[in-house]
Chain A
Amino acid sequence: MSEIVDAWVRRLKGKLRPIGEMTHWERMAAAFELRRADLVPVAPELDYWQITYAGYSHAEIYNDVDKTTDACIRTWADLRTDAIWMYVDISHQIENFIPPEKRPEHFVHRGDKDYLLFKPVAKTIDEAIELYESRAYERYLEGSRAVTHYVPHMLQLLEFQEKMDRIVPVIVGIATPSNYAETLVEVQQFVRWTVTEPKKVKRYLDLALEERLAALDFYAEIARKHGLHFVCLFGGARTWGPRQLREFGYADEIFVQKAVKLFPYVFWHICGHNLPEAMQLLVQWDGIKAVQYDMPYYSQKLSWPEWCESVARLFAGKRCAMNSPTTQTACHGTPEDVRRMVREFLDATLPHTTAVVMPGCEVDSYSPVENVRAMIEEARRKPLP
Chain B
Amino acid sequence: MEKAERLQKLAQAVLEMDVEGIVPLIEDSLAAGLSPVEILAEGLSAGMRQVGERFKQGEIFMPEVLVSCDVYYRGLEILRPLIRQTGGGPVRGKMIIGTIYGDIHSVGKDVAVPVFQAAGYDVIDLGVDVPDERFVEAIREYEPDIVGLGTYMTSTFMHTRETVRVIEQAGLRDRVKIICGGPAVDPAAARRMGADDASDDAWEAVGKLDRLVEELRAARRSA
Which residues of A are interface residues toward B (Cβ below 8 A)?
48, 108, 110-111, 113-115, 117-119, 186-188, 191-192, 194-196, 239-244, 273-274, 297-299, 327-328, 331-332, 364-366
Contacts and interface: CB of A to CB of B under 8 A. Distances in A.
B208 interface: no
Contacts of B50: none
Interface string B86-125: 0000000000000001111111001000000000000000
Contact of A114 (B61, B102, B110): B102
Given A188-B105, A196-B19, A299-B201, A239 B155 contact: no
B67 interface: yes
Contacts of B101: 110
A239 B63 contact: yes
Given A187-B107, A240-B61, A244-B61, A113 B155 contact: yes
A108 B128 CA distance: 14
Contacts of A364: 153-155, 158
Contact of A332 (B62, B67, B186, B204): B186
Interface of B: 17, 19, 55-56, 60-64, 66-67, 70, 101-107, 110, 129, 153-156, 158-159, 183-184, 186, 188-189, 192, 200-201, 204
A167 B144 CA distance: 58
Nearest to A359: B154
Contacts of A195: 17, 63-64, 66-67
Nearest to A48: B155
A331 to B, nearest CB: 5
Nearest to B19: A196
A297 B200 CA distance: 8
Contact of B156 (A114, A119, A194): A114
A328 B204 CA distance: 20
A89 to B, nearest CB: 11
B154 A241 contact: no
Contact of A115 (B19, B61, B153): B153
24 contacts: A48-B155, A114-B102, A115-B153, A117-B129, A118-B104, A188-B105, A191-B62, A192-B63, A192-B67, A194-B63, A195-B63, A195-B64, A239-B63, A240-B63, A241-B61, A241-B62, A244-B63, A299-B56, A328-B154, A331-B154, A331-B158, A364-B154, A364-B158, A366-B155
Contact of B184 (A111, A243, A327): A327
A275 to B, nearest CB: 11
A218 B17 CA distance: 42
Given A48-B155, A298-B183, A331-B189, 16 more contacts: A108-B104, A113-B155, A114-B155, A117-B102, A118-B104, A119-B104, A188-B107, A195-B64, A195-B66, A239-B107, A242-B61, A297-B200, A299-B56, A327-B154, A364-B154, A364-B158
A188 B106 CA distance: 7
B61 A188 contact: no
Nearest to B153: A115
B104 to A, nearest CB: 6
Nearest to B204: A299
A307 B60 CA distance: 21
Question: Which 3 A/B pairs are nearest by Cβ-Cβ distance?
Answer: A241-B61, A332-B189, A239-B62
B104 A241 contact: no
Nearest to A187: B107
Contacts of B154: 327-328, 331, 364, 366
Contacts of A110: 101-102
A298 B200 contact: yes
Contacts of B67: 192, 195-196
Contacts of A191: 62-63, 66, 107
